[in-house]
Structures are given as C-alpha cells and as structure tokens.
Amino acid sequence: MSWTIAVGVKQVPDDDEVGIDPDTGRLDRASAPAVMNPPDREALEAALTIRDQVGGEVIAVTMGPPNAKTVLEQAVAMGCDDAVLVTDRAFAGSDTWPTSLTLARTAEALEADVVVCGEETTDSSTGQVPPGIAAHNGWAQLTYVEGVDARPEEDRLAARRDVEGGHELVAAELPVVVAVAYGEFDPRPAGLHRKIYAENDFEPTQWTAEDLEIKEEVGLDVSPTSVGGMETVDPVDRKGEVVDETDDLAEVLTEVSA
Amino acid sequence: MTDDEEPGIDVDEYDDVWVFVEEHAGDVMPVSWELLEEGRKLAEKLGDELVALVIGEDVDEIAEEALARGADRVLVADDPVFEPYRADPYGEQFRAMVEEYKPSIALIGGTHTGRDFAGRVAVPAHAGLTADVTEIDVDDDGLLQARRPAFGGDVLATILCEDHRPQMATIRPGVFEAAEPTDEADGEIVEADVVVEEADCISEVLEREVGDTADITEAERIVAVGHGVEGDLEPARELAEALDAELAASRAAVDEGWIDGARQVGQTGKTVRPDLYVAVGISGAIQHLEGMNKSGTVIAINNDPNAPIFDHADYGIVGDLVEVCPDLADRLEGELQEVVQ
Ligand SMILES: Cc1cc2nc3c(=O)[nH]c(=O)nc-3n(C[C@H](O)[C@H](O)[C@H](O)COP(=O)(O)OP(=O)(O)OC[C@H]3O[C@@H](n4cnc5c(N)ncnc54)[C@H](O)[C@@H]3O)c2cc1C
Ligand SMILES: Nc1ncnc2c1ncn2[C@@H]1O[C@H](COP(=O)(O)O)[C@@H](O)[C@H]1O
C-alpha cells in the first residue's frame, strides 16, 4: 500500500521582515523577502507524517511565478520526494476559484490520494483554497486538522478536527483534501544532504495552464471577485504609557472598571 | 466575459439575502444571529427578502427562532444526514438550493465550520466568496461591498463580485450586534427538498466531543493570556476574578492546549470589544491585534520592554506576570470593593 500525497505550498512576503515605508509610515510588503507561507511548512510535516504511516510519495506543488521554485527546494530539503511548479502568465489575477481549480487539476494529474494544505496563507488569508480544491474534484475535505491517522486498509484517512467548542474525529474516503490547523504540526528540520541535493541538483517538474488544459478557465476573467478599492485604516490611537508601579496600574484599572 | 465563453449568468434573476444559520446539535452559533441583523439592513436597502437557511436534524425550533429574530422566510433542510455537520452533504444541499432559489447574497459566519462550508459551496456555484469580512454594505447598484482587513489590518479592502451570484462572504464572529427575538414574527417556513443521501456521503464523523462554548465577544472586561504564561493560567485567572473579567487568549496559548479555542482573539479567532482588555504575556502580533483593536482601554503586562504590544496599549507595565498579576489582583480587590458598594 502506498499513497501519493500532494502538498500545496505558496510563496509569500515574510511577515517578520515587512518594513515600514518611510514616506507613508505603513507596512511595505513589496520589499519584504519571499518565504514559504509558514502554515505550509506544517502542511509538509503533516504530509510527511502520513507518508511515515502508509508509505508512498510526497510531492510539493506550488502555483506561482518561476522564482517560487525556491519554496519547492525547501520542501524537497525537508523530505519531499518530488515537486511541481505550475507557472503561466495566464494565471495572473486569479482569485481562489481558479487557483483551487489549478491545484485540483494538478492533484488529478498526479493521481493524488491526499492533498495537504496549510490553514491559510499569510498574504491572502482566505483558507478557501483547500475546500475549493476538494469541491472542484468532488473529493472529501478535512479542514482545521490537528492530527492524522491513515487507514489504508479502509482506503480512508481519519483526522482529528478542531471544531466550534470541541473536537471531532472524521474519516474521509480517498482522495481527500486536508487543511491542517496552524500550530499543530512541528515541521521537521531539513537534513543536510537533502538540502544540498535540493539546492544543487533538484529541478521541479514544470506545468503550464495548457498542460493542465485549463487555459480558458483561469486568470482574471474567470475570477468571480475583484478588488473594488483599498482604504487605509488609521491605526488605533493608544496612549502607549508605561507605568513603573503596580499601584499606578491598579488605579487605572479601578477607574476603567468603575 | 467574452461571447464565446460559457454564457454568463443573468444577475437580475438573483435576489434575496441569505443567512446561513450554523447549528451544532441544536445550539446555534451566536454569529448566525449577528448576520441576521446585518442581513436585515442589506435586505431593507435592496428591497429584498431576508432568508434564513437552516440545515440540520430536528431544527423546527431553530427555524421558529430565526423567524422571531427577523427572517422573512426560513428555508429548512431537515434530515438525519445533516447531523453532525459534514462538508460534502451540506455542500451538495446548498448547491441545489442555490440553483432552485437563486439568492443574490449569502452570508456565513467565519467560524471553522462556516469557512469549511463556504469554501466548498462557492466553487460549484461559481460564486464570489470573500473571507473574513468585518464590514458589509451594498452600493448604489445593489452590489455587495464586502470589506476585510488586508496587509495586517493596515488596509481595508473592498471586494466585489460583479458578474457572478450569489455574492458570498464569511464574516468574523463578534463584529456585529446580534438580532434579538421579537413576538411579531410573521414570516414563513419553507421545507426544501433534501437532495443528499447517506449512501452518497464520502465522510463519516466517528467521534465528537463538545468543549468550551464560551462567548467572549459579549464580555465587558477581558484578561487575555499569551504564550508568556507558560501553561500556568493561575496568575491571570486571579486577575480576571478581581476584575470580574472573562478569560481569553492568543492563538499561541490556544495551540499549546492551555485554553480552549472558543476563547481565541484575533484574525482566526474572534473580534472582541470590551471596555477593558488586559494582555498578559502576549507579544502583540498583527493577527492578534486585529481581534482586540476595538477594545476600550488596553493594558499590557509583559517582561520584554520591546514587545510590540506596548505600542498598542494605553498603559503597560514591564514585569513578570507571575508577580504583577496577583499583586494587581490584591490591590484591586480592596479598591473595587469600595467602588461597587
Ligand atoms: C495564518 C495565521 C493566523 C493567526 N491567527 C491568530 C489569531 O487569530 N490570534 C492570535 O493571537 N494569533 C494568531 N496568529 C499567531 C500570531 O502570529 C502570533 O504567533 C501569536 O499571536 C503569538 O502569541 P503570543 O503573543 O501569546 O506569544 P509570543 O509571541 O510567544 O509572546 C509571548 C510574550 O510573553 C512575554 N513573556 C514571556 N514570559 C513572561 C513573563 N513571565 N511575564 C510577562 N511576560 C512574559 C514575552 O516577552 C512575549 O512578548 C496567527 C498566525 C498565522 C500565521
Ligand atoms: N498558489 C498556491 N500554490 C500552492 N498552494 C496554495 C496556493 N494558494 C493556496 N495554497 C494552499 O492553500 C492553503 C490556503 O490558502 P488560502 O486559501 O490562500 O488562504 C495554503 O496554506 C496552501 O497550502
């Protein structure tokens, strides 16, 4: 028994390195270095855990510009067997509908049994892509997953989900799309040899929209949503006073609570 | 859209504002009633009807309550296949109802279940879906304007969906006031055809444990704990008791399992707006600030003078929470007693 496990990883601006634009005093994401979306590192860990349980192959997938290749190298360094870069100008302007279509077709082309994703991306933070992939393919979905339990003898994957006011254990038939809850899978460090291989010898497979036969179904034109405007929000004005004594704080608290 | 593509939909065929009423074993998530109130405002502006969507098993009472809280109509899909929630049967049922009834707008609570559900149903409907919305309105053309924080809350982006229907949004819990029940409910309850069967389902819920269902969004005072408490909630709890405050948390504290997810504040948790918010051992990450920015007075207790939370607090103290919290609690107990009497 062995499963093919695809993992969606995305390149995003590094939140920790986002500087302040000196002219506007606002966050300047454009100049931040690009990194792997932190929740996707945990998705990789979950995928590798499933591989540890059933055997098989883990294939990292990203849809993005050619330079997103670096996140695939990181994925391979962490232990992925292979990686696919889905890149095409036709994808420009895609919202979550065509993005999840693209990843759904990629997963089909790979004959994936499981697709693992992060909870959400730090740049678009929708969390819509994993259910979207599942919906496009008519597959099962398990979101906010905190633990995975592969059951190859049943052709199912069971998972512990974090739901409102509790937890549930759900078993889903393969193929299934999993989105892992952020903060639950501690990513394993990349091995040195693997890292050298990933950086020097590894080349990801490259697919275009045409390869996936979705050229007319992606990009700005088929995206149902569009940005109607951006308003800057004035930061909340806080006093920012630091007091030295607990007494002073007690006084403030008494006033506010009165 | 160009002419040779699949024919676009006629957006004029779609009307009514739908609100998805999320229930778990008979309990309705508070955000659903918040959306009913906001949905009412949109429906009035548009001259449309407000429709509550109730999916579950034995949900008569919930349907009645939705009417009492202001729905013009309640669409009910009542069947054992819908309890507990699973994405595949709910998704299929919703798709069929959208096809039949053609709603213009569909609002869904931004809970884990709501986001799981919305992401699935938007795809087959080819609907426009905006996540994590904190403001909604309709423009002069009757188009939904869904606003959401972007770039760490620095910007409010307005997302539109011009050529597709329904216009869908998941909305962050705690942002709006809930609709209150009234006695003058005169709407109707409509039974929808149930289109799914258990045999077609591709997932199975094996176990379900109910945890903490606290609603921190209504609290007037909050003491929130972060990773800095290192598993010991006692000092913060003492302070919370002295202040008669609810306990809440950063995601880091929730992820460690120290406190339940129902109490998480932030982008992927709840938006709170207490008069007083005390952040204990919380660094002040943007995702956390997004959920607490609407608070009245913000107080920070942190042993790192450079913690960003101090820039987002009205008053702060640099110190070890293990000492500061009980000390504060002691002093307050005396003083608050006087105020209350
Ligand atoms: C997609 C995504 C969504 C997220 N959503 C949320 C969200 O909804 N809500 C949220 O909160 N976070 C969210 N986060 C996480 C967020 O980025 C931060 O990691 C998190 O808020 C940090 O929590 P913290 O401040 O408790 O922990 P830390 O950042 O570790 O801070 C702990 C603080 O405690 C202080 N401290 C330590 N010991 C003591 C002591 N003895 N006395 C006093 N102070 C002490 C430290 O100086 C430090 O400032 C999200 C992240 C991502 C990527
Ligand atoms: N362009 C992409 N390429 C690969 N995976 C993606 C992409 N966009 C989103 N994902 C996956 O979907 C998850 C949720 O993303 P989002 O819906 O954008 O918040 C991410 O954590 C990734 O695992």
What is the structure's pLDDT at B2? 40
Point out the residue among A221, A224, A230 whose CB comes nearest to the CB of B128. A224
CB contact under 8 A, A171 and B332: no
Crossing angle of helices A69-78 and A38-54, in 10° steps, is 40
Element (H, E) at A86: strand A82-86
Q: Which of A72, A16, A66 lies closest to A40, judged by CA?
A: A72
Q: Are A96 and B168 in contact (CB under 8 A)?
A: no
Contacts of A257 in chain B (CB under 8 A): 221, 243-244, 275-276, 332, 336, 339
Cα separation, A137 vs A75, whole angstroms: 25
Complex ipTM > 0.90: yes
Helix (H, G, I), strand (E, B) or coil at B277: strand
Report the gap between the CA of A241 and the closest CA in chain B (Å).
5
Give the mean model confidence (pLDDT) for residues B219-239. Answer: 97
Cα separation, B121 vs B112, whole angstroms: 14
Report the gap between the CA of B224 and the closest CA in chain A (Å).
15
Asked if A15 reaches chain B (Cβ–Cβ under 8 Å), the answer is yes
CATH level 2 (architecture), domain A3-223: 3-Layer(aba) Sandwich (3.40)
Between the CA of B227 and the centroid of ligand 1 the distance, in Å, is 6
What is the structure's pLDDT at B4? 41
Give the mean model confidence (pLDDT) for residues B86-95. Answer: 95
Cα separation, B341 vs B339, whole angstroms: 6
Crossing angle of helices A96-109 and B112-122, in 10° steps, is 80
Confidence of residue A164 (pLDDT cuts 50, 70, 90): confident
Backbone angles phi, psi at B141, to 5 degrees: -85, 5
What is the structure's pLDDT at B335? 67
Report the gap between the CA of B214 and the closest CA in chain A (Å).
8
Confidence of residue B337 (pLDDT cuts 50, 70, 90): low
With a cut of 60, say whether residue B122 has pLDDT above it: yes
Point out the residue among A29, A131, A224 whose CB comes nearest to the CB of B151. A29
DSSP states along B11-79: GGG---EEEEE-EETTEEPHHHHHHHHHHHHHHHHHT--EEEEEEESS-HHHHHHHHHTT-SEEEEEE-
Backbone angles phi, psi at B24, to 5 degrees: -130, 115
Q: Which atom of ligand 2 is nearest to the CA of A130?
A: 12
| pTM, two decimal places | 0.93
What is the structure's pLDDT at A257? 77
Cα separation, B273 vs B254, whole angstroms: 20
What is the structure's pLDDT at A93? 92
Cα separation, B321 vs B301, whole angstroms: 6
Between the CA of A99 and the centroid of ligand 2 the distance, in Å, is 8
What confidence tens digit (pLDDT) does each residue in A8-58 have?
999 998 877 766 666 666 666 677 889 999 999 999 999 999 999 999 999
The mean-pLDDT minimum among A100-104, B86-90, B173-177, B222-226 falls in: B173-177
Asked if A21 reaches chain B (Cβ–Cβ under 8 Å), the answer is no
What is the structure's pLDDT at A258? 72
Between the CA of A9 and the centroid of ligand 2 the distance, in Å, is 6
What is the structure's pLDDT at A33? 86
With a cut of 90, say whether residue B153 has pLDDT above it: no
What is the structure's pLDDT at B334? 73
One-letter amino acid identity for A73?
A: E
What is the structure's pLDDT at A26? 60
Contacts of A127 in chain B (CB under 8 A): 115, 119, 131
Portion of chain A with pLDDT greater than 90, in percent: 80
Confidence of residue A235 (pLDDT cuts 50, 70, 90): confident
Q: Name the E strands within chain B.
A: 17-21, 23-24, 27-28, 50-56, 73-78, 105-109, 128-133, 135-138, 144-150, 155-160, 167-171, 188-191, 203-210, 221-225, 246-249, 276-280, 297-302, 315-318
With a cut of 90, say whether residue B151 has pLDDT above it: no
CB contact under 8 A, A238 and B120: no
What confidence tens digit (pLDDT) does each residue in B9-44 have?
889 899 999 999 999 989 999 999 999 999 999 999
One-letter amino acid identity for A96?
A: T
Q: Which of A168, A208, A192, A213 lies closest to A86, judged by CA?
A: A208
Using CA atoms in the order B214, B219, B221, B224, what is the torsion angle rounded to 10 degrees?
40
